[in-house]
Amino acid sequence: MEAKETENKTRPSRLKKWSKELISIVILMTLVSMALDWYRSTSMPSGEAPSLKAMTIQGLPVDIIQQSQEKPVVLYFWATWCGACKFVSPTINWFATDHQVLSIALSSGTNERVQQYMAAKEYDFPVINDTTGLISRQWNISVTPTVVIINKGQIESISTGIITPIGLWLRILFA
């Protein structure tokens, strides 16, 4: 009987210990992620968003400043060859059903190649193919994926690397 009581007392203690460890790891990862976002975005534009008027590979004209006047725009810099983008693109595709999303494909080949990639992955978000690198240079993009939230022509948030659906939703919510 005493052995069972001792075992029952150690279980909550172990659970409490592992819960504290997990919370510590999540907090540490969040802080590291925030520090990396800050560091990587220091060379990127801040405040007023650079003008971006272009035609998507789907044939739609876009004006990022004008679009952001109505509600926030998720500007997604990605590439077909980007490993981390394979985790972020499904989130962006999901958000595109209810939010304004515009993506910029970087160094991803011809429009036909990007369209084939989009069709193969069943992604429906609008894409500008930056074949010359002009847009990525204008925005000083050094990491893919990069997600920028633009609201009323102002850059509200920049996130580099993998972003979770909850993280993206919170950034849009507070934009």
Q: Where are the domains of the chain?
A: 1-42, 47-173
User: How many whole angstroms separate alpha carbon 11 and alpha carbon 9?
Assistant: 6
User: How many whole angstroms separate alpha carbon 26 and alpha carbon 32?
Assistant: 10
Closest CA to 75 of 167, 155, 132: 155
Task: Please state the rounded mean pLDDT for residues 124-149.
Answer: 93
Indicate the pTM of the whole model. 0.77
The structure tokens listed for 63 are 């004006």
DSSP character at residue 51: P
pLDDT tens for 7-34 read: 555 566 877 888 778 777 767 666 666 6
Query: Does the domain at residues 47-173 carry the CATH identifier 3.40.30.10?
Result: yes
The structure tokens listed for 153 are 């022509």
What is the model's pLDDT at position 2?
55
CA 15 to chain centre: 33
Cβ neighbours for 42, distance < 8 A, ≥ 6 positions apart: none
User: How many whole angstroms separate alpha carbon 138 and alpha carbon 144?
Assistant: 15
pLDDT tens for 65-100 read: 999 999 999 999 999 999 999 999 999 999 999 999
Residue of 62 and 39 predicted with greater confidence: 62
